[in-house]
Structure 1
Amino acid sequence: MAEENKEERGEEDLELPMYDLATIVKATNNFSIDNKLGEGGFGPVYKGTLETGQEIAVKRLSGSSAQGMNEFKNEVILCAKLQHRNLVRVLGCCIQEDEKMLVYEYMSNKSLDLFLFDSIQSKFLDWSRRFDIICAIARGLLYLHQDSRLRIIHRDLKASNILLDCNMEAKISDFGMARLRGRDQDEGNTNRIVGT
């Protein structure tokens, strides 16, 4: 009976730690506009601080999101199975009441597009640093395509989905549109257009 209730709410075994809504609300100061980092197709992203002092980023599924429960579950399941230094680490999720959220490690330098397309910020990206970022993205993609136990096609790789940590180390994020393929499959076709 408990398993049926979990499935009805979309909470089957997602293999990630579950955060309760009260913890997320407290960490983000009730989703304060001051803590809002941005907004994508999934919904808004907020910075938060857990009681332990750990900084987090919370991606909150919007009711008007073009993405839905399938993309949410896809990202949760994939992120639970993927571990690489050039992929943003998912710490857990929250599925409670009408809320569906993913909790990530906080990336203090935000996304690569903020540096590339800003005349002042782009000065921080000399060619050596750009090369390091390119290599980090390539290592992350190699892991996804070849070295992980799952073969994954990201399908939405763009500068805003490359996040930078405090050391400007690049990490790939946002796996809501990703697609699994078989270990022996070299190519694949999709039936719908996704990504940017």
Structure 2
Amino acid sequence: MALPASPQHPRGYGILLLTLLLKALATTASACNHLRPQDATFSRDSLQLLQDMAPSPPQLCPQHNAPCSFNYTILDTNNARQADKTTHDILQNLFTILSSSSTPDHWIDSQRQSLLNQIQRYAQHFQQCLADSDTRSRTRWPRNLHLTINKHFSCLHTFLHDNHYSACAWDHVRLRARAWFLHIHDLTGNTRT
């Protein structure tokens, strides 16, 4: 009769579990690192398209002060997965606001479409790698950051509506979009080393 296998020492299970956990964390932490070549050019190319699509408004604008403040310091993170999720949220909101059918007549539609296509492709890459990493890890995202970003863009939508989608209001939104592209550059550049 065969003897039952002697149970392994609990410490052996702990080491095995720790090894598997560290491997999973290393895999999910770098889930979107394959975007590195795009990270290098996305913001620069987007800023150029943004400038090309929206020349200065044809008339001088009274200063519009959108009440859409945002505490950009909450975007400072060294966590690659959080930066990737934040970037994805920003891209989705930028796409939604810039794809509006009420953009000013002086904006060049072909340049705007190129910018929208670029934003959409980049957002889809992030969505895919985030979905892949979510299947390996059940880490929750900071909900407050997600809500803060959505609230800011909702405020910009309201600002446009309240100003009857004027060219001046859109110019203000374009300047905010420029700032967001710079933040995307910081988010993707700081966490991909």
- The answer to whether TM tops 0.5 is no
Q: Which has the higher strand share?
A: 1
Q: Which has the higher helix share?
A: 2
- TM normalised by structure 1 equals 0.26
**Highest CA radius of gyration, 1 or 2?**
2
Give the structure, 1 or 2, with the largest relative contact order (CA under 8 Å, sep 6 or more). Answer: 2
- TM normalised by structure 2 equals 0.26
